[in-house]
Amino acid sequence: MYRPGISLRIKTSITIIKSCLSALCLAMSAAATAVDIAPAVTANQIALQPAPVAHLNGNPVYKLTLDVLAKMAQLEKPKTGRADILDNILSNRLLAGDARERFAEEELQASRRVAFEPDVTLDNQLSGYLRTVYRKDLEAAISKLPGGRLDALIQEQGKLEEEELNSVFGPRNIVMLDYTLNPAQQTAATHVLVLRSNFAPASNINLHSVFRRQNVQGRVEFFNRNRDFIRQQAQLYLANLYVLDWARQRFGESALKDLRRAVEEKNTVQAVMNLHGIGADTDSESRLLNQLAAEVKPKEVLAYFRSHKEEFKRIVSVKARHIRLDNETRARQVAELAHQGSNFASLAQQYSTAPDAQQGGDMGLILHRGQLSWLEQLAYMQEPGKVSPPIRTAVAANEAAHWEIVLVEKRNEGYQDPASETVRYLASRALAQEKAIRQLSSLQAQLRKSAKIEINQAALLN
């Protein structure tokens, strides 16, 4: 099932941001002459809205939603059919509605402290989709502005003086544990002008409205008083608002809201799938997986172990030799001799500085019991029959370092103890993930079965 997505990361490089803005022909200058700007689309340009492509439980799914998500899907897979995308939209709508009743918002928005706020993510995704699908139309609309540029909308750039920035972010050079604003700082930020325009949806863009649209990397730049970055982010916000206003005027408020809802539902379903272990490894933190894993019985663990035994293979012991040298250059020379086929035990007797040199560097049979030494761990990491490169030992600053060359002559493999905690954990998590996926599939089928779906075949084909 295709799930279109857009990767949005704030870059601190102004060059990268300018490149992003250029996709909409944004050549922003430090200031622009005030002019009267017409709406993105005039009233007589708004076309009659086409019939919805479907109704789900009596509620319409707009053609704009299908058009945009189908075009985005076809960029990756050109043969993706519109019917498949519509089916995806309907499934997401049903599943997202159910998820909001079963999961807490914090579970569906797990990474908010370091990522973007959900509404900001949606705005960015929506604007990005529209820019991609309707690029030529947007460029045509922008070309009708004075000079064919969006900077014609700007009337004034805020000064962002040190005193007003200090009133928001506090004094410089203090250790920050959390790059967020308290209520008083948020209020102060609303009084700091970043950009003023004669474009109604963005007549005054203040510091708070731009700050809240940042992820943690962007917020750091704000606290560091990176004025160029702040202004560029305000201009990017202006561009997004222009795109959304253009789409609202051209397709109508209802159609744009439906597209936004579909994108939000896609994000929600992706979060639900993660909670069910789909697209994530078994160690991923999930209340649902934790609960299901706790319900797994010992006999289920044993059955899983027996049917997936290869997953629990382990190294039981290794037989190895080593050569220790106090000089890296000499160590590389000796390693090269070993690679060329010289007898490893003889090289150890001739060059090694370790106490076991005369025994050919024989480390004996190393059993995996208890805590292994650094050298024993190194032996467990090597492939049998292959001479390792010289590896510097981990020593304190005032200790002399030496280099170890290791050859594993034999590796003995076995399996984890089926009664061990390792087997219990891995098996219960895997079984929980399988059960969660079955539950999700069953839920999707039930939701589709009980839903009333009407498809407008004519609108689907156009």
The reply to whether 132 and 269 lie within a common domain is yes
Same domain, 332 and 444: yes
C-alpha of 244 from chain center? 24
Between the alpha carbon of residue 382 and those of residues 232, 321, 335, the distances in Å are 51, 11, 15
Measured on CA atoms in the order 266, 271, 272, 274, is the torsion positive or negative?
positive
Q: Is residue 113 part of a domain?
A: yes
Assigned domain for 169 exists:
yes
Asked whether residue 109 falls in the same domain as residue 21, the answer is yes
Same-domain pairing of 299 and 181: no
With beta carbons less than 8 A apart as the criterion, state whether 395 and 401 touch.
yes
Q: What is the token pair recorded at 456?
A: 């407008």
Residue where a domain stops, chosen among 275, 301, 331: 275
Task: Assess whether 218 and 348 both reside in one domain.
Answer: no
Give the per-residue pLDDT at 40: 52
| 433 and 352 housed in the same domain | yes
The CATH number linked to 319 is 3.10.50.40
One domain for residues 271 and 396: no
The reply to whether 312 falls in a domain is: yes
Do 264 and 309 belong together in one domain?
no
In a domain, 459, yes or no: no
Residue 92 lies in a domain: yes
* pLDDT beneath 70, residues of the chain: 1-50, 110-114, 279-285
Domain boundary among 275, 309, 339: 275
User: Is residue 185 in some structural domain?
Assistant: yes
- Domain shared by 352 and 243, yes or no: no
Say how many domains are in the chain: 2
90 and 204 in a common domain: yes
Same domain assignment for residues 359 and 211: no
Tell whether 280 is covered by a domain. no
Report the distance separating Cα 4 and Cα 73, nearest Å.
Answer: 6
Chosen domain end from 275, 303, 338: 275
Q: Smallest Cα–Cα separation from 21: which of 214, 196, 203, 240? A: 240
**341 shares its domain with 255:** no
Give domain status of residue 51, yes or no.
yes
Q: Express as a percent the part of the chain with pLDDT over 70.
A: 87
* Rg of the chain over all Cα atoms, to the nearest angstrom: 31
What single-letter amino acid sits at 225?
R
Predicted local confidence at residue 212, as pLDDT: 95
Give the per-residue pLDDT at 49.
64
Q: Is the pTM of this model over 0.75?
A: no
Domain that holds residue 33: 14-275
